């Protein structure tokens, strides 16, 4: 990495470009305060471009992905267009980038910020404060499977859950290291919870469980190992979220439990995540977890805090930890000022919320 942070900006569809614009406003401000250099380049991959090009077979080509790979990091707005059949952009753009750039970690913090309404009775910021590390390149997301005798009464469809020792192990090691770093920083009690379904998925879950204990025992004796079935985990998210420190989970279950996580931290207006390739030279991609919210496009009502939170994560993981931490602190100062985190009900417009974060940083 040179001394200039090179960021590829993919605004994407719907409200994506609007929230990304606010994140870039915050970036400009924090870079001035912290004194680091950065460059951004915009890319218009998404539904509009794909439609304008006459629906090409591939949404983003290998060459275009290679170009993105030259950047230090990527900031993504949202993927999903009302005039495009669901699945085309999700698979052809978002999942393709995650796979091709080998972003094998999907880091999704679940943090309830001050003043944010939580749907859980009697739970506050101290209770809802944990991290989910979702494996991001395997499992049901590999697209392995197929049809036999399609469109007949005897049709068969299969969809395979793939777990490789290599893929599982690199994810587990990241999760153990992450849990340890938190413990050493005085955050969290040093407990890693594996979430799976060992009582039914006796092959894939067995590989995960064996690797979890082998690696934990050999290399992370300081980290407490805990296990939850995924269904029980959903129950605990609601009943006792304070129990969790760090969770490691395969792709599909991770997708599901992080939507539940997002809603207990205040919803899609605030939830951010990182698709991380932690290897040397790897290019990661940070995004608000929510979708493109097409019905709010261009109205200046969407909440940009999730995108600003994604920027905070981007900085924290791209050699600008202090800058990222400051942006996160600024978000925490702004959340109590909003009436709600929901689009159109914040008591402020999209750009005003961005301005509030900037003003807090400058204060």
Q: How far is the CB of 274 from ligand IPM (least distance, A)?
A: 11
Report the residue from 9, 19, 76, 95 that binds ligand IPM according to the rule CB under 6 A. 95
Residue 321 beta carbon to ligand IPM: minimum distance, rounded to whole angstroms: 24
Measured distance between the N- and C-terminal CA atoms of the chain, rounded to whole angstroms: 31
Determine the interface stretch with ligand IPM among 62-70, 87-95, 229-237, 238-246 (rule: CB under 6 A): 87-95
The partner in contact with residue 355, picked from Mn ion, ligand IPM, none with C-beta cut-offs of 5 to 8 angstroms by kind, is none
Residue with Cβ nearer Mn ion (209 or 255): 255
- Least distance from C-beta 258 to Mn ion, angstroms? 6
Please say whether the beta carbons of 174 and 278 come within 8 A. Answer: yes
Residue closer to ligand IPM, measured from CB, 97 or 330: 97
Q: Is the alpha carbon torsion for 319, 323, 326, 330 positive or negative?
A: negative
Candidates 89-97, 166-174, 206-214, 309-317 — which segment interacts with ligand IPM by CB under 6 A? Answer: 89-97
According to the binding rule CB under 6 A, does residue 194 interact with ligand IPM?
Answer: no
The two most distant CA atoms of the chain are separated, in Å, by: 68
Among 48, 67, 90, 355, binds ligand IPM (CB under 6 A): 90
| Nearest-approach distance from CB 90 to ligand IPM, in angstroms | 4
Q: Which is nearer to ligand IPM, 133 or 191 (CB)?
A: 133
The site that binds ligand IPM (CB under 6 A) totals a number of residues, namely 4
Would you say 86 or 344 has its CB closer to ligand IPM?
Answer: 86
Single residue of 20, 24, 59, 94 touching ligand IPM by CB under 6 A? 94
- Exactly one of 209, 226, 255, 355 binds ligand IPM (CB under 6 A); that residue is 255
Q: Which is nearer to ligand IPM, 94 or 118 (CB)?
A: 94
Binding site for Mn ion (CB under 5 A): 255
Q: Which of ligand IPM, Mn ion, none does residue 177 bind to, with CB < 5 to 8 Å depending on kind?
A: none
**CB of 186: closest distance to ligand IPM in angstroms?**
30
Question: Contact positions toward ligand IPM, by CB under 6 A?
Answer: 90, 94-95, 255
């Amino acid at each position: 990495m040179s001394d200039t942070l090179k960021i590829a900006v993919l605004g994407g569809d719907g409200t994506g470009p609007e929230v990304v614009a606010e994140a870039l406003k915050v970036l400009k401000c924090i870079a001035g305060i912290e004194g680091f250099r950065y460059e951004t380049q915009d890319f218009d991959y998404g539904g509009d471009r794909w439609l304008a090009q006459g629906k090409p077979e591939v949404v983003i080509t290998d060459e275009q992905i290679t170009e993105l790979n030259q950047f230090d990091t990527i900031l993504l707005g949202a993927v999903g267009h009302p005039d495009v059949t669901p699945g085309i952009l999700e698979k052809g753009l978002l999942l393709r980038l995650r796979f091709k750039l080998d972003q094998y970690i999907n880091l999704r913090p679940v943090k309830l910020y001050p003043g944010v309404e939580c749907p859980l009775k009697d739970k506050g910021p101290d209770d809802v404060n944990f991290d989910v590390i979702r494996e991001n390149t395997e499992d049901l997301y590999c697209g392995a499977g197929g049809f036999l005798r399609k469109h007949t009464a005897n049709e068969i469809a299969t969809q395979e859950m793939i777990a490789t020792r290599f893929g599982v192990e690199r994810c587990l090691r990241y999760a153990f290291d992450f849990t340890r770093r938190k413990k050493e920083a005085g955050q969290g009690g040093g407990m890693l919870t594996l979430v799976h379904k060992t009582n039914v998925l006796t092959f894939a879950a067995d590989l995960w469980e064996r690797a979890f204990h082998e690696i934990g025992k050999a290399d992370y004796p300081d980290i407490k190992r805990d296990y939850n079935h995924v269904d029980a985990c959903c129950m605990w998210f609601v009943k006792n979220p304070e129990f969790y420190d760090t969770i490691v989970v395969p792709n599909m279950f991770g997708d599901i439990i992080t939507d539940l996580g997002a809603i207990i931290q205040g919803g899609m207006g605030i939830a951010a995540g990182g698709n991380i390739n932690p290897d040397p030279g790897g290019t990661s991609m940070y995004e608000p977890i929510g979708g493109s919210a097409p019905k709010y496009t261009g109205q200046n009502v969407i909440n940009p805090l999730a995108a600003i939170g994604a920027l905070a994560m981007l900085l924290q993981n791209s050699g600008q930890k202090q800058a990222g931490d400051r942006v996160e602190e600024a978000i925490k100062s702004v959340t109590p000022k909003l009436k709600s985190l929901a689009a159109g009900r914040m008591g402020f417009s999209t750009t005003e919320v961005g301005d509030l974060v900037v003003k807090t940083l400058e204060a």
